């Protein structure tokens, strides 16, 4: 097998040694029901097609958090949890007349 790139479209070319890997990603996504495009369309721009599939599958239309954002979100949630735990340990007296 030659290492000549496969021209998937006019937009990009995929080196032959990477083609099988992209095809496997496509097969897995298609099997899971995440990919609605054909293999040639997918190979024309794999990253765009993966992003579009992820966004179309999203219920809330938010992009995934970046690593730093995820760290901050975790710290915020931990702070809220500790505040909730502190409130739960206090006795609240309610009186009615």
Spans of all domains in the chain: 6-88
Confirm whether pTM is higher than 0.75.
no
- Tokens of residue 43, six digits: 């190979």
> Taking the CA atoms of the chain, what radius of gyration do you get in angstroms?
24
| 30 to 34, 58, 79: CA distances (angstroms) | 6, 16, 40
* Cβ proximity of 8 and 40 under 8 Å: yes
Give me the residues paired with residue 13 across strands.
7
Nearest to 55 by CA among 65, 63, 47, 46: 63
The neighbour count for residue 19, using CB atoms within 10 Å, is 15
pLDDT per residue of the chain (97 residues) written in tens, 0 to 9: 455 554 444 455 788 888 889 888 899 888 878 888 998 888 888 888 888 887 776 555 567 888 898 899 999 999 988 888 887 777 767 778 7
Nearest to 40 by CA among 60, 12, 63: 12
């Amino acid at each position: 097998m030659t290492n000549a790139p496969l021209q998937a479209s006019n937009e990009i070319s995929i080196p032959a040694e990477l083609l099988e890997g992209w095809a496997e990603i496509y097969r897995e996504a298609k099997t899971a029901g995440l990919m609605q495009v054909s293999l040639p369309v997918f190979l024309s721009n794999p990253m765009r097609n993966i992003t579009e599939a992820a966004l179309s599958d999203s219920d809330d239309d938010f992009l995934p958090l970046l690593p730093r954002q995820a760290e901050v979100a975790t710290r915020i949630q931990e702070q809220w949890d500790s505040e909730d735990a502190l409130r739960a340990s206090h006795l609240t007296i309610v009186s009615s007349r």
